Amino acid sequence: MKRFVPGLMSIATLLGLVLPCAAKPPRATNTPAAVSGVISDAHGAPQLGAMVELLAADATTIAVAFSDEHGRYILPSVLPGKYQLRASAAFFMPTLRSNLRLQPGVQSIVNLTMNTIFDADNWLPAQRRRADEPVDDWKWALRSTANRPLLRLVDPEDGLSISSSSETASKPISEGRVTVTNGDGTFGDGGMHQALLLSRTMGDGDGAVLRADIGNNTQSVDSPGPSVAVTAGYERQSMLGGSTRLVTGFQSHPELANGSMPGFGPGFEVLDLASAQKLQFGDAVMIDVGTLIEAERLEATRIHTQPYVHVTARPTDNVVVEYRYATSRQVQSADDLDRLKPELTAVSDAQGRPLGNQGTHNELAVSRRLGQDVVTVSGYIDHLNYEAVGGSGMMVRSDLQQTGIVADPTTGTFQVATQGFAARGVSATWMHPLTPALSTWVKYDLGTAMTASGDAPPVQDLQQNLTAQTASAASVAIRGKVLHTGTSVKAEYRWQPNRTLTQVNAYNNMPDEAYLSFFLRQRLWCGRFLPQGIDAVVEATNLLEQGYQPFLAPDGHTLFLAQIPRGIQGGLAFNF
């Protein structure tokens, strides 16, 4: 007779229920997780091509993804668990997110920000074109990033950059400005000027800029016609964070005279074609090469080709070493193409042919960051074929014929060429940021400059009365923007001995940097009385009229030579 054992039956029943469950895990734990997000730089610009890695606890790579043109990435079908997420790209410091817990069936959103290790622009003082310097137009500036270099305009109100890699990167961005100025201008820049600036940045980071300037001196009845300056530039991105820029410009100044013909003569015309190529090698080397082709016409035409090479190396995070070779002062790096209003130098030889701005410049510089401050020390060797000296005073046609001077009767200024000379020297610069957008600069230069000798010698004997001598120069400046006020300012005082008529370390200083100079742009806030986007602009050079040296014209009246004659202009800018 069979016996029924309740305990054994209960155990068998429990095993029958539990074992199938133990053999197959719960459905929820087998559901994969996912990770997605956006990779951007410190300025919020999305980065294309950044590598995103999902790492296990032992640093084993579990999954890999790359960010798209909007900086987005996704890692689908990942087993739940605890991981690390790392983003890396060329010229950026890798970013690591630790203790990332992925839940079953949940898509986690993780946005990562990378800081570039080659962005010396954040702390390294630029040479002649300073990114924080408020000039008469918006700066056409290239942000050096590995995955997407950005063409941007610096907004005059708050200093923020409007870049093509913003949230609306797929849409082109267009900006414009119309500026109207008048005043007592400098050589080739007198009277009333109307300038139009248009910029367009495409969604892929390429960009184009157009600037047109028409000037007319209404105070002079002798003016033969308006001056015209047109500049157009284009930039295209290349692989590995490089870029190519092409800028062409044309200037016509019928008001300039050299005494070759009755009246004002043939005037002065310049055609420029500049190209620049930036190449990135690894994380610490950049090579910037380019060429300026310039055609000038007075009585005759002369064409010059002026190349440059700029090499930057960053051995450590706080040290930058630079070597620069240049032949033209106007274009010494790709950043020099930012200045859309080109400089004007018009001097001629005895036959009325324009003298090209020829020379050679070799420089080695070392910059070191000390906390927030930056100290730069450099040495240079220059060989100049000639030097252009500015002056003021009215001249008759016979004086121009005897001296070879190119005059601007509308402003009462002129330029004359001196003999060439060799220069060498050293320079030291200290930069201290007051705010993120405002900095103070102190600079000392020791080098060679042309010095006047004698008291009021004849201007036709200028070559015999100028000698190359060692001289010092010191400057102190404040540059940048006052945040939340709409104010852009550049105020500088640069001292040199009064008898020096050329700049010390001329390749590293702007032509208008002499004694007391300033630039001020102020956004006008007038509520409903004025439309939005109007700025008041005031610019002055050598305001105190220092450094003037007397010379005698052939007819006996007095002329004055200086590094740069006094000039002041003011007006309004309309932004749209």
Closest CA to 259 of 385, 155, 40, 414: 414
Q: How far is residue 327's CA from residue 325's CA, in Å, rounded to a whole number? A: 7
Q: How far is residue 441's CA from residue 266's CA, in Å, rounded to a whole number? A: 43
In the predicted model, what is the mean pLDDT of the chain?
78
Closest CA to 179 of 212, 220, 217, 132: 212
Q: Are 266 and 256 contacting, i.e. CB atoms less than 8 angstroms apart? A: no
With H, G, I as helix, E, B as strand and everything else as coil, classify residue 203: coil
Give the CATH superfamily of 28-114: Immunoglobulins (2.60.40.10)
Tens of pLDDT, residue by residue over 222-253, are: 557 788 999 998 888 776 667 888 999 999 88
Determine what percent of the chain is predicted with pLDDT higher than 70: 76
Give the confidence band of 189 by pLDDT, cuts at 50, 70, 90: confident
Looking at residue 98, its amino acid is S
Q: Are 501 and 459 contacting, i.e. CB atoms less than 8 angstroms apart? A: no
Note the pLDDT of residue 474: 95
Tens of pLDDT, residue by residue over 380-432, are: 999 988 888 888 887 776 666 666 688 888 888 888 888 888 999 999 999 99
Closest CA to 430 of 476, 376, 508, 353: 376
Alpha carbons within 13 A on the beta-carbon side of 237: 23
φ/ψ of 190, rounded to 5, equals -95, 170
Q: How far is residue 405's CA from residue 542's CA, in Å, rounded to a whole number? A: 22
φ/ψ of 566, rounded to 5, equals -65, 140
Instruction: Using CB atoms within 10 Å of the CB of residue 194, give its burial: 0 to 12 exposed, 13 to 18 middle, 19+ buried.
Output: middle
Closest CA to 353 of 254, 260, 224, 255: 260
Tens of pLDDT, residue by residue over 275-299, are: 999 888 877 888 999 999 988 887 7
Tens of pLDDT, residue by residue over 159-170, are: 433 333 333 344
pLDDT greater than 60 at residue 565 = yes
What are the DSSP calls for 40-87, one per residue?
Answer: EETTS-B-TT-EEEEE-TTS-EEEEEE--TTSEEEEEEE-SEEEEEEE
Q: How far is residue 268's CA from residue 259's CA, in Å, rounded to a whole number? A: 12
φ/ψ of 115, rounded to 5, equals -105, 130
Q: Are 156 and 535 contacting, i.e. CB atoms less than 8 angstroms apart? A: yes
Domain over 120-575 is classified CATH 1.10.1060: no
- DSSP β-bridge partners for residue 91: none
Q: How far is residue 195's CA from residue 227's CA, in Å, rounded to a whole number? A: 12
Q: How far is residue 251's CA from residue 228's CA, in Å, rounded to a whole number? A: 6
Note the pLDDT of residue 494: 93
Cα 456 from chain centroid (whole Å): 41
Closest CA to 575 of 135, 166, 207, 138: 138
pLDDT greater than 50 at residue 60 = yes
pLDDT greater than 50 at residue 14 = no
Maximum CA extent, the chain: 150
The full set of domain ranges for the chain reads 28-114, 120-575
Closest CA to 331 of 297, 303, 307, 312: 307
